Amino acid sequence: MNSLVIYGSRYGNTQKLAAAIAAELGKHGEARLVSVEEAPSIVGEATDLVVVGGPTEAHRMSEPVAQLFDGAGDDWLAGKAAAAFDTRVRWPLFLSGSAAAGIVRKLEAAGATVIAPPMSFFVGGAPTLLEPGELEQAKAWAASLASRNVPKEPVLTAR
């Protein structure tokens, strides 16, 4: 399985999570980690899974993450499996919002098949830091994505 993990990060928390996700996905094949500013506008045919994450800002995805989708062509993720994650404070969802929910909508609009519900990882404190255990949660989530997206071996038929 070939994976592409794209992240936007303001304080480094989302980048740390994205790196943990990419490392776990790397156990199941090639995994590339890129920032939204460096993300390709065309995802190669060999890419099986695209994971996009970013911080929740003002109830939605950050501007750099939104620009990733705005700058990409129609159906740039057609035929790809995808998943979304965000970082946000541990408040009720209606108070904090979720970047991942918006990212899921953008992934689907780009032609991807979303294989998991949006995932939130939590930050808090001053300075804003990942809550304890969130990196481990990210690894477990990535392993679950890999198990849902295992490429199927070609079926050999008898002659």
Q: Which domain CATH number covers 18?
A: 3.40.50.360
Sign of the dihedral through C-alpha 127, 131, 136, 137: negative
pLDDT digits (tens, 9 = 90+) for 116-125: 999 999 999 7
pLDDT at 152: 46
pLDDT at 159: 37
Fill in the DSSP letter of residue 11.
S
Residue 118 located in a structural domain: yes
Residue 156 located in a structural domain: no
pLDDT at 40: 76
pLDDT at 149: 66
Residue 10 located in a structural domain: yes
Q: Write out the DSSP string of 144-155.
A: HHHHHSPPPPPP
pLDDT digits (tens, 9 = 90+) for 118-157: 999 999 977 789 999 999 999 999 999 999 865 544 333 3
- Positions in the chain short of pLDDT 70: 149-159
Number of domain units in the chain = 1
pLDDT at 157: 39
Residue 130 located in a structural domain: yes
User: Where does the chain show beta strands of DSSP type E?
Assistant: 3-7, 31-35, 49-57, 60-61, 81-89, 113-114, 119-124, 129-130
Residue 154 located in a structural domain: no
pLDDT at 43: 82
Q: What is the dihedral of CA 87, 109, 26, 122, to 10 degrees?
A: 10
Residue 159 located in a structural domain: no
pTM: 0.90
Residue 157 located in a structural domain: no
Cα–chain center distance at 100: 8
Residue 94 located in a structural domain: yes
Owning domain of residue 36: 3-148
